[in-house]
Amino acid sequence: MSDLFSHGPGGTETGQETAQTGRSAPRPLADRLRPAHLSEVIGQDHLLGPDGPLGTMLAGGQLGSLILWGPPGVGKTTIARLLADETDLSFVQISAIFSGVPELRKVFDAAKARRTNGRGTLLFVDEIHRFNKAQQDSFLPHMEDGTIVLVGATTENPSFELNAAVMSRAQVLVLERLDDAALERLALRAEEEIGHPLPLTDEARAQLLAMSDGDGRALLNMIEQVAGWRVDAPLDATKLSARLTRRAAQYDKSGEYHYNLISALHKSVRGSDPDAALYWLARMLKGGEDPRYLARRITRMAVEDIGLADPQAQAFCLGAWETYERLGSPEGELALGQAIVYLALAPKSNAGYAAFKAAMRLAGESGSEPPPKIIRNAPTKMMRDQGYGQGYAYDHDAEDAFSGQNYFPDGMERPGFYDPVDRGFERDLAKRMDYFGKLRAKRQGESG
């Protein structure tokens, strides 16, 4: 892989001097290591390689509007700036947090004037998902007539946050978090820049990379802190943790990470993997997820994926939920963890869930078909005269307490919704289904 924050030409100084000191203004390490060419960007070869979408665009001399979607610190701003350099476009950067309609009008007017003079504009919009629908729509005519090439950056799922009209006019490119190999190369570049190795043991160095959580900018900021420490011997992992705060894990209780992690938790339970399920539960709790939301979703898993294969699963989850309500956090979270383990190891069946969905589907298709008169109540004389309840066989009076009557609407072919699996308690239910099915056929044959 190539490097995200590599050396650019001209050394490490900007050449800009302060009026007070006459010396170069200080620049953060992350800024000093910002790539000067796209070939120096690390971790995004799937986009920038010869066969990647950006590599292909640049080789063909055509750059279309883009949405760069990825986590923080993986090079979205840098790539946008370098794309402008590669295509000889004027680079204009705005942030959706600080910009409104007046600022957008000025940007568009300047781009039109620039275009009149024969130069195009790459408009980089950071946090583009923060613009509302009307603001996003304002980009459309300028994208269509070529006044701007829009490059938007977002950490949120564009399909949730961006207008369909913008999405249809821009290609979405997914940037990946930096893996350990990429982070290590970035750390080596940083050590080359600062002129000495970091005062860390191998274990502490690995921990430093993990603490960045795939964020190159966060890693360089931490390296800059570590490089300034005066120590007599390399620090171990324990001493590093005492001096440096771990970067908070990326999590949004209403966004992409929320939905991805709850999906991972649910599918780990369904896949009977208690260790993976506990991991995703812990990730969500560490991210600040409401344990009550998790208790509700865990109970849903019992209903949807375990069902009648283990009728106690639902009660177990409700008990864990009640335990959390009584104990609160963090003690009550252990009950949720135990419920997750129980569900992951329980026999699985969605037969009841599938049966319910099938019944709902048929109920919608069959409209207002009335029950057969034989099983309607007849509280009035008129209803008795209409034949309501006539011929009804009270099952407790029948042999085996089973009459075998038809309970579906007259004329409807008997459907089969519930198909129990051969696992857990549903083995017994399958035997009962078979028993009553044969007995029903016998009773209806006798009455016919």
Q: What is the pLDDT of residue 242?
A: 87
Listed as own residue / partner, the contacts of 433-442 with beta carbons closer than 8 Å and 24 or more positions apart are 436/402, 439/400, 439/402, 439/404, 440/402, 440/404, 441/404, 442/404
Digit-coded pLDDT (tens) for 308-362: 999 999 999 999 999 999 999 999 999 999 999 999 999 999 999 999 999 999 9
The amino acid occupying position 40 is E
Q: Is the per-residue pLDDT at 13 higher than 80?
A: no
Of 108 and 11, the one with more pLDDT: 108
Q: Is the per-residue pLDDT at 269 higher than 90?
A: yes
For Cα atoms 84, 86, 90, give the angle at the middle one, nearest 5 degrees: 30
Of 377 and 20, the one with more pLDDT: 377
Q: What is the pLDDT of residue 248?
A: 57
- By the 8 A CB rule, do 148 and 139 touch? yes
Angstrom distance (rounded) from CA 41 to CA 74: 9
Angstrom distance (rounded) from CA 99 to CA 137: 15
The amino acid occupying position 362 is L
Angstrom distance (rounded) from CA 22 to CA 37: 30
- By the 8 A CB rule, do 228 and 26 touch? no
Question: How high does pLDDT run on average in the chain?
Answer: 88
Digit-coded pLDDT (tens) for 177-194: 999 999 999 999 999 999
pTM value surpassing 0.95: no
Q: What is the pLDDT of residue 194?
A: 92
Digit-coded pLDDT (tens) for 285-305: 988 889 999 999 999 999 999
- By the 8 A CB rule, do 8 and 35 touch? yes
Digit-coded pLDDT (tens) for 355-393: 999 999 999 988 888 899 988 998 898 888 899 989 898
